[in-house]
Amino acid sequence: MSDLALPVLHVDRPLVEADYAYVEGRASLVAHTDAELAGVAASVIGIGHQWDAARFKLFPELKVLSRMGIGYDNIDLDAARAAGVVVCNGPDSPTVSTVEHTMALLFAVTKELPIQQARAAQGLKGPAQATSLELNNSTLGLVGLGRIGAKVAKASLALGMNVIAFDPGLRESPVASVSMVTLDELLASSHVVSLHAPAIAETAQMMNADAFAKMMPGSYLVNCARGSLVDHDGLLSAIDSGHLGGAGLDVTDPEPLPAGHPLLDRPNVVVTPHIASSTAAGRRRLYEHAIDNALAVLEGRPASVVS
């Protein structure tokens, strides 16, 4: 089959040789150039652009928009429907890598790794005081118990942690030994609160000054979901007052945080630049699942369709 007969797929990131190899004989890949937009049947996207009505007009022949990952809060679904574009996501693509990164941040902040690394760099030996958290028998509170939250629960149970969860979309826990509780109960009882909720109107800045005040003194926050879930001024105040022991953030709002933002220089806060899913294996899954979804829609096969 000649390339002229293949559907044209646009990808909004730099491409490597393996990307082209994955779709060889199935599609023709193009990078982001205005000259090529008119013929694009599908676009495979990350979070770099807001897809509103104006952007959809740049792709007059677009049939499907396929997100590399779970969240689609950068896509105006009404505008997509008006343009006749099917929107897909890849709910399983980033799960394993994001779970691992969540655990990495959990360990980093509860074991005070940045603080202790700084002490080692100063030539100091031993702790200034014993303040890090022993995870065994401590309580992890999960806000959201979907694919990622459930796997974080299982990993934490294996460490000997008690795990509780709040998820208004679930009537019972899908994970044995995890109790479902109210949000207030979770905040009051958890040594670590880990966020795994979507960015929707109901979750915007759900972790605000009032929520932080309800958290256990000395507890920690981990966020590998979306930055919009957290009021960062409220978080900073809770950390600076000593009420919270620290935070591990892979996502922020805005993203990235501006240079000099106080959260970036707090020794008990670890911030990574939205890279939880960015392992080598995770990157390939994100890309391949998004390509598979796009081609499935174009070929009339089942896909992970959002709208």
Whole-angstrom distance, CA of residue 26 vs CA of residue 109:
45
Tokens 């005070």 belong to 112
Which two tokens mark 49? 């652009």
Active-site residue among 10, 147, 274, 289? 274
Angle (CA) 249 106 131, round 5°:
110
Task: Please check whether residue 283 is in contact with residue 31, taking contact to mean a CB–CB distance below 8 angstroms.
Answer: no
Which one is catalytic: 24, 36, 134, 255?
255
Selected catalytic residue, list 67, 191, 196, 226: 226
Nearest to 186 by CA among 201, 196, 198: 196
- Three-state SS for 122? coil
Is 261 noted as a catalytic residue in this protein?
A: no
The answer to whether 90 touches 290, Cβ cutoff 8 Å, is yes
Distances (CA, A) of 101 to 73, 106, 136, 249: 21, 8, 19, 10
**Known catalytic residue: 61?**
no
How far is 180 from 197, CA to CA, in rounded Å?
Answer: 15
User: Residue 124 CA to chain centroid, in angstroms?
Assistant: 36
Q: Which pair of tokens denotes residue 262?
A: 């106080």
Which burial class, exposed, middle or buried, applies to 307 when counting CB atoms under 10 A from its CB (0-12, 13-18, 19+)? middle
Q: Is 243 a catalytic residue?
A: no
- Mind telling me the catalytic residues? 226, 255, 274
